Chains A and B, each alone.
Chain A
């Protein structure tokens, strides 16, 4: 017993020493700030986007939405127990997928456009073929021991999931089995984002940490701290070298992967609502962040200033997305509507 305690104490000491070493290494490269670097960049001025369409059809709170890779179709999920696939150019509903469990928290479109996936309090990620005559359940991925908070397809044969059981998982859709389990978070995983080369992904969790993972090896490569509450939203900067997070602490942060630290924060003393979702414009200059205050606020990512707001929802903005062609922003809300802006 005493030997074990001694070993534990030695390991704890080593952990503390390593943490100090990491902080020192980060400080050593912290020779400037984003604000200093962005002094030369022209201001974006006031960003005033117009509401182009309001998509009506859901009968209860919308919890998630995801654009198709074609930048035209989009899928939304509501606790009315339905997934709706929309043609955003016409506003028409193309497909309605009835869910076994209405408590949905996440939805995803496969890059091919053939499949959608959803999951929530049922702990299961269900994958549907929406190209069939009527939506057909392809797979029920059932192994998480906590709610499904986020899912993202790599292809028609692989999908990543994030769960309230604190793990993320890579699944093989041909077998329906787990391929890799990503463990390191100590709080519910709330959100994930895949890098464009699909070799890495980032996760945000209720332990207030963001983590970068190697998809194939299952290893956590980097950990980013700084938030003081749950991270609800996470996204890659389009160059792939930085990560943006949104949190219940009412702030967003940008962490640079190569500098291994936070480079700028987005907060406003008048903004006392948690961040639920976020999306970036195609150049990465604008951050669209959905908040509990019913608005989607727009931030200049380089200067850290608020440059606009998308107002119109009558309840919390729960999801935000920019399509691959960058032509607009979609916001989804607990008011049951989706809005398209540009």
Chain B
């Protein structure tokens, strides 16, 4: 009994590998260039790269001015 379930599992493994083998692959040079391009295009909108000014920093403890 365990023999035939091993067979079923093995057939599934072959099917999965056939599927994974069939995909089209893009050249790493192209993929890397696209990733780099994305980073560069979005760099100015990335607050952790550009820095957050204290006036717009949502996490900075609010400093309150009050007239005494």
A122: Cβ under 8 A from any B Cβ: no
Contact of A283 among B16, B45, B52 (CB under 8 A): B45
| B48→A281 contact, CB < 8 A | yes
Q: How far is the CA of A49 from the CA of B52 in the complex (A)?
A: 10
A126: Cβ under 8 A from any B Cβ: no
Interface residues of A in 10-42 (CB under 8 A from B): 11-12, 14-15, 18-19, 21-22, 25-26, 28-34, 36-38, 40-41
| B10→A8 contact, CB < 8 A | yes
Chain B residues within an 8 Å CB radius of A241: 31, 34-35, 38
Chain B residues within an 8 Å CB radius of A206: none
Q: How many residues of B contact A (CB 8 A)?
A: 44
Chain B residues within an 8 Å CB radius of A34: 28, 32, 35
| B48→A4 contact, CB < 8 A | no
Q: How far is the CA of A18 from the CA of B15 in the complex (A)?
A: 10
Q: With A241-B34, A326-B47 in contact, is A282–B57 under 8 Å at CB? A: no
B60: Cβ under 8 A from any A Cβ: yes
A interface residues, Cβ below 8 angstroms from B: 1, 4, 7-8, 11-12, 14-15, 18-19, 21-22, 25-26, 28-34, 36-38, 40-41, 44, 47, 49, 52-53, 72, 88-89, 184, 219-223, 237-239, 241-242, 254, 256, 258-261, 263, 281-286, 301-302, 322, 325-329, 340, 342
| B52→A342 contact, CB < 8 A | yes
Chain A residues within an 8 Å CB radius of B26: 29, 256, 258-259
Closest to A239 in B: B38
| B18→A18 contact, CB < 8 A | yes
Contact of A326 among B23, B48, B59 (CB under 8 A): B48
| B35→A8 contact, CB < 8 A | no
| B14→A256 contact, CB < 8 A | no
Q: With A12-B10, A52-B59 in contact, is A327–B32 under 8 Å at CB? A: no
Contact of B49 among A237, A283, A340 (CB under 8 A): A283
Contact of A256 among B11, B28, B39, B60 (CB under 8 A): B28
Q: How far is the CA of A88 from the CA of B61 in the complex (A)?
A: 11
Contact of A285 among B4, B30, B46, B60 (CB under 8 A): B46
| A302→B35 contact, CB < 8 A | yes
A51 to chain B, nearest CB (A): 10
| B39→A37 contact, CB < 8 A | no
* B27-63 Cβ-contact flags toward A at 8 Å (1 or 0): 1111111111011111101111100100001111100
Q: How far is the CA of A81 from the CA of B43 in the complex (A)?
A: 40
Chain B residues within an 8 Å CB radius of A12: 10
Chain A residues within an 8 Å CB radius of B13: 11, 15
| B23→A41 contact, CB < 8 A | no
Q: With A32-B28, A242-B35 in contact, is A88–B59 under 8 Å at CB? A: yes
| B35→A281 contact, CB < 8 A | no
Q: How far is the CA of A12 from the CA of B18 in the complex (A)?
A: 13
Chain A residues within an 8 Å CB radius of B65: none
Chain B residues within an 8 Å CB radius of A221: 19-20, 23
| A41→B59 contact, CB < 8 A | no
Contact of B48 among A37, A41, A72, A328 (CB under 8 A): A328
Q: How far is the CA of A254 from the CA of B50 in the complex (A)?
A: 23
| B36→A282 contact, CB < 8 A | no
Can you sample 30 A-B contacts with CB below 8 Å? A1-B3, A4-B3, A11-B11, A11-B14, A12-B10, A14-B14, A15-B13, A15-B17, A18-B20, A29-B28, A30-B28, A32-B29, A37-B33, A37-B35, A37-B36, A38-B32, A52-B57, A89-B58, A239-B34, A241-B31, A281-B48, A283-B42, A284-B39, A285-B39, A285-B49, A286-B46, A302-B36, A325-B47, A327-B47, A327-B48
